[in-house]
């Protein structure tokens, strides 16, 4: 399915779905818990549904009804996965569940779709071997699943890179099943907000967790019988980035509802980033909403055109964004930067190269097709953006963005970001986003939700 996107002005309110990161953690911890847990406002995306199909393999029960997921925890009856674990497209599920499976005696096998069978697992293998497991890939010349593990974990200390956080979170969750203290040393921690999220979950369930200020030392004390719980999943800041950016690059005014103000999701940093270049974003922590105004509806800065985003008042006239703490925002930020007057440098992008795709190269390739001046370097993405208007409100002759046809490469975040790009195009231009149905991986109702506020996405069969 292809999406055709063009200049639009968005109006009204939108509610983004529940957090994928929280939903998958909730499913796995509920599966290990003793008793019946209820998960409200779960994200019914492809990745989370893969997790819901995986937890029965370790002895848990799962039922879905009326936006409530019920998990009958396996507790002390939890066991080795009794079949091959197919994680679908979910790297989170792969990296979370494989260390948990390694706490059981016997062999576990993990595989997934074509994308997963290209995702690196050498870091997982090395960590599990340090902890006394056998771990291999089935294809000797490929650092990717199928992943084969033989447990149980017999050692309690591991030193690992940690620049990818998910397998570290997996070890933290697995530690709740182990006797004694699991001592994790990270030499290069990057996605630290996600580790903080895992810590919060474990501590709420009675697990003792110690984390150093620099996240280079994490200690988790087991063995703990996890209690059952009822939990409402907060809205997903990773998904929220797309209507947020879409509104800022167009003449739009929207309200985004059900904002997560807990601070448990690192992706909320995108608000401060965009406000630093003049974005009109109003956060109401009582109503848990964001009001976003773009273009002519933005509150103007004195002496400047309303809605114009610019790096001019930043140090050296550049917007620098260290992205390692919220790497899933890179696609949305790259689109936003295309419409910001000045240079945006998205730094520390190594983690972004190891997601569903190499998102650094994907955004460089596809935005170049649409007239964006963009460069990819070893550890940064550089966008030389232009606002449609000059500071005085006149047409900006340097603004040369245009429509075209772009690929998603099966990456849900690239699909949503490129679909939103069209709203900032000149009149008469359009962008066709091929195979955009992959947006369902993390935002199942993306097309309908955006059309509900005026996106006007045209839909056609994939060509």
Catalytic residues: 328
Identify which of 188, 95, 104 has the alpha carbon closest to the alpha carbon of residue 147.
Answer: 95
Query: For residues 248 and 398, what is the distance between their CA atoms, to the nearest angstrom?
Result: 19
- Give DSSP secondary structure letters for 267-316: GGHHHHHHHTTT-EEEEETTTTEEEEE-GGGSPPPTTS-TT--B-TTSGG
- Give DSSP secondary structure letters for 148-164: EEEE-----EEEE--SS
246 in Cβ contact with 49 (< 8 Å): no
Identify which of 347, 351, 345, 362 has the alpha carbon closest to the alpha carbon of residue 416.
Answer: 362
Query: For residues 321 and 335, what is the distance between their CA atoms, to the nearest angstrom?
Result: 14
Q: Could you tell me how far CA 451 lies from the centroid of its own chain?
A: 22
Contacts of 287 (CB under 8 A, 6+ apart): none
Question: Positive or negative, the Cα torsion across 442, 447, 452, 453?
Answer: positive
3-state secondary structure at position 110: strand
3-state secondary structure at position 424: helix
Residue 462 burial class via C-beta count within 10 angstroms: exposed 0-12, middle 13-18, buried 19 and up = exposed
3-state secondary structure at position 326: coil
Q: Could you tell me how far CA 14 lies from the centroid of its own chain?
A: 19
328 in Cβ contact with 267 (< 8 Å): yes
How many residues comprise the chain? 463
Query: For residues 268 and 193, what is the distance between their CA atoms, to the nearest angstrom?
Result: 10
360 in Cβ contact with 381 (< 8 Å): yes
Residue 228 burial class via C-beta count within 10 angstroms: exposed 0-12, middle 13-18, buried 19 and up = middle
């Amino acid at each position: 399915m292809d999406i055709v996107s063009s200049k639009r002005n968005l109006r009204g309110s939108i509610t983004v779905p529940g957090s994928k990161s929280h939903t998958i953690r909730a499913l796995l911890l509920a599966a290990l818990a003793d008793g019946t847990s209820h998960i409200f406002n779960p994200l019914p995306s492809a990745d989370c549904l893969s997790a819901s199909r995986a937890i029965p393999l370790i002895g848990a029960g799962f039922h879905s009804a009326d936006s409530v997921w019920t998990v009958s925890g396996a507790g002390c009856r939890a066991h080795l996965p009794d079949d091959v674990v197919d994680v679908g497209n979910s790297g989170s599920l792969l990296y979370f569940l494989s260390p948990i499976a390694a706490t059981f005696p016997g062999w576990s096998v993990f595989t997934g779709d074509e994308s997963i069978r290209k995702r690196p697992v050498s870091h997982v293998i090395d960590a599990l071997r340090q902890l006394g497991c056998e771990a291999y890939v089935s294809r000797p010349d490929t650092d990717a699943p199928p992943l084969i593990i033989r447990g149980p974990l017999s050692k309690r200390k591991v030193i690992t890179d940690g620049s990818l956080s998910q397998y570290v979170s997996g070890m933290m969750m697995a530690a709740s099943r182990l006797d004694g203290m699991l001592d994790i040393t990270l030499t290069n921690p990057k996605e630290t907000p996600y580790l903080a999220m895992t810590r919060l979950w474990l501590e709420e369930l009675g697990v003792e967790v110690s984390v150093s200020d620099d996240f280079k030392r994490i200690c988790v004390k087991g063995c703990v019988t996890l209690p059952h719980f009822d939990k409402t999943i907060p809205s997903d800041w990773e998904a929220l980035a797309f209507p947020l950016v879409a509104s800022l690059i167009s003449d739009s005014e929207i309200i985004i509802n059900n904002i997560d103000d807990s601070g448990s999701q690192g992706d909320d940093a995108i608000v401060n980033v965009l406000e630093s270049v003049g974005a009109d974003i109003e956060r109401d922590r009582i109503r848990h909403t964001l009001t976003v105004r773009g273009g002519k509806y933005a509150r103007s800065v004195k002496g400047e055109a309303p809605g114009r985003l610019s790096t001019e008042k930043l140090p050296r006239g550049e917007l620098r964004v260290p992205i390692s703490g919220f790497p899933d925002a890179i696609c949305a930020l790259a689109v936003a930067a295309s419409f910001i007057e000045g240079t945006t440098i998205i730094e520390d992008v190594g983690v972004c190269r190891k997601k569903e795709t190499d998102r650094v190269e994907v955004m460089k390739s596809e935005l170049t097709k649409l007239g964006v001046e963009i460069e990819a370097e070893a550890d940064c993405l550089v966008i030389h953006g232009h606002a449609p208007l000059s500071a005085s409100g006149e047409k900006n002759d340097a603004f040369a963005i245009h429509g075209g046809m772009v690929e998603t490469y099966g990456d849900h975040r690239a699909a949503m970001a490129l679909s939103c790009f069209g709203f900032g195009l000149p009149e008469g231009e359009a962008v066709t986003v091929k195979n955009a149905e992959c947006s369902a991986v993390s935002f199942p109702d993306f097309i309908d939700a955006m059309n509900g506020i005026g996106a006007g996405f045209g839909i056609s069969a994939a060509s």
